[in-house]
């Protein structure tokens, strides 16, 4: 089945849609003992209302199929572990009845998965339809409809709502921001710079700071967005074209904001940490534009500057199917540092990265722990990258 046709079929009130990027914990690539897709307890409680705490380890069996890969129908089990120290709800038996599942394939780590539960909220779900995006084209199609799906983010809503236009996914926060933003929508850079100027989370390590600021930035963005969009929605639309135009403008603005968000945050954190010797979007061979070059653009093009002292940092929110894009962005640099928020990669993919001299830079902490233990020792934290790069270029005048 074509993905667009599949999405059309599940775009109804009959389905509860759960969307996420598969983490290494989900696919088993982290090497952990608990292998299986993570669903928040509140989500499974909504889909399987019989899983209540007044019973001991209640469960519910239902049919499921992964339609993106034409897998045979399976019988899965939803269970509420509520004895002793455990208090969690899970879906199990993902491997039963099939010799292969993309949901348990390490190479699927980072892919977007869409779970369509046939559920009315009154009785337990009886059927689940799953689609794991098979390539970037399918991910781009989905994100063109609902906005970017970032690592660690989950989207849950009924099918009619989720695919009918942009969602205001979380309760709006009452944020203070410049009043002029209510008239002129700020650029992504203006929002990131505002957080920087206010010193949000500046007391935290760079690794924790970038994760906290990204969340804060999106909350602030949504508050400004609401001030612009909700009055328009309340006033209604003259025709369908007017509604579609508004929906597209919202999605385009969100994609624009997300597109350079990480680079902008990193740029400000570098400055806060005293790492000021870098160039952004420098033009290199073949008119390529790497995200960051150290110590600067001029040094890269200076034939007398030692190439072994040059450093590049590429930035990708997710690296699956995207990491190869950075390999030829700066041919004079042997080792490519790549910053990502993706929650793990497969051992095979990591082996490929190492063979191409790609070194992953990952925020230390929760993100780091979602990588396989054989990979963790080879990861570089953002704090380590800043300190190591700062020592290399201490005293060099940036341009």
Please list the residues that pair with 128 across neighbouring strands. Answer: 64, 117
β-strands 311-316, 336-340: how paired? parallel
Contacts of residue 152, defined as CB under 8 A and 6 or more positions apart, other chains included, come to 21, 23, 341, 343, 367
* Annotation says 300 is catalytic: yes
Residue 101 CB contacts under 8 Å (≥ 6 apart), including other chains = 66, 69, 71, 94, 95
- Give the C-alpha separation, 202 to 187, whole Å: 22
Could you please report the per-residue DSSP string of 97-156?
T-S--GGG-GGGTT-EEEEEEE--SSS---EEEEEE--SHHHHHHHHHHH----TT-EEE
Which residue among 80, 156, 300, 393 is the active-site one?
A: 300
How many angstroms separate the CA atoms of 109 and 54, rounded? 36
Cα separation, 273 vs 22, whole angstroms: 32
Convert 192-216 to b/e letters by CB count within 10 Å (16 or more is b): bebbbeeebbeeebbbbbbbebbeb
CB atoms within 10 A of CB 55: 11
Give helix then strand counts, H and E, for the chain. Answer: 13, 12
- What phi and psi, each to the nearest 5 degrees, are found at residue 331? -65, -20
Residue 214 in 3-state DSSP? helix
- Report the half-sphere exposure of 8 (CA within 13 A, side-chain side): 5
Q: Which DSSP helix (H) or strand (E) runs through 392?
A: helix 382-392
| Whole-number Å distance between alpha carbons of 135 and 195 | 35
Residues serving a catalytic function are 300
């Amino acid at each position: 089945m074509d993905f667009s046709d599949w999405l059309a079929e599940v775009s109804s009130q009959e389905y509860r849609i759960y969307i996420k990027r598969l983490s290494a914990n989900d696919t088993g690539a982290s090497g952990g003992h608990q292998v299986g897709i993570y669903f928040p307890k509140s989500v499974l409680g909504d889909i399987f209302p019989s899983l209540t705490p007044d019973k001991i380890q209640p469960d519910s069996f239902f049919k499921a199929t992964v339609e993106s890969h034409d897998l045979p129908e399976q019988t899965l089990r939803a269970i509420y572990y509520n004895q002793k120290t455990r208090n969690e709800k899970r879906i199990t038996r993902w491997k039963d009845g099939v010799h292969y599942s993309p949901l348990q394939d390490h190479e699927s780590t980072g892919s977007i998965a869409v779970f369509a539960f046939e559920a009315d909220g009154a009785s337990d779900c009886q059927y689940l339809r799953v689609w794991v995006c098979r390539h970037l084209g399918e991910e781009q199609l989905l994100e063109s409809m609902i906005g970017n799906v970032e690592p660690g983010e989950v989207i849950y809503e009924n099918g009619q709502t989720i695919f009918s236009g942009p969602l205001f996914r979380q309760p709006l926060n009452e944020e203070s921001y410049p009043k002029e933003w209510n008239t002129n929508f700020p650029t992504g850079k203006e929002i990131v710079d505002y957080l920087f100027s206010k010193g949000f989370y500046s007391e935290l390590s760079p690794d924790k700071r970038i994760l906290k600021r990204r969340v804060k930035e999106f909350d602030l963005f949504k508050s400004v967005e609401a001030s612009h969009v909700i009055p328009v929605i309340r006033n209604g639309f003259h025709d369908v074209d007017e509604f579609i135009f508004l929906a597209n403008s919202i999605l385009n603005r969100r994609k624009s904001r997300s597109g350079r968000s990480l680079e902008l945050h990193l740029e400000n954190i570098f400055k806060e940490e005293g790492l000021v010797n870098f160039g952004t979007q420098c033009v290199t061979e073949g008119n390529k534009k790497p995200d960051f070059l150290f110590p600067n653009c001029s040094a890269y093009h200076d034939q007398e500057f030692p190439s072994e002292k040059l450093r590049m940092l590429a930035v990708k929110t997710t690296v699956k199917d995207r990491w190869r894009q950075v390999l030829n962005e700066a041919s004079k640099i042997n080792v490519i540092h790549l910053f990502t928020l993706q929650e793990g990669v497969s051992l095979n993919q990591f082996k490929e990265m190492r063979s191409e001299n790609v070194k992953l830079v990952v925020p230390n902490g929760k993100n780091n722990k979602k990588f396989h233990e054989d990979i963790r020792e080879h990861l570089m934290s953002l704090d380590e990258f800043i300190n190591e790069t700062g020592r290399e270029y201490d005293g060099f005048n940036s341009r």
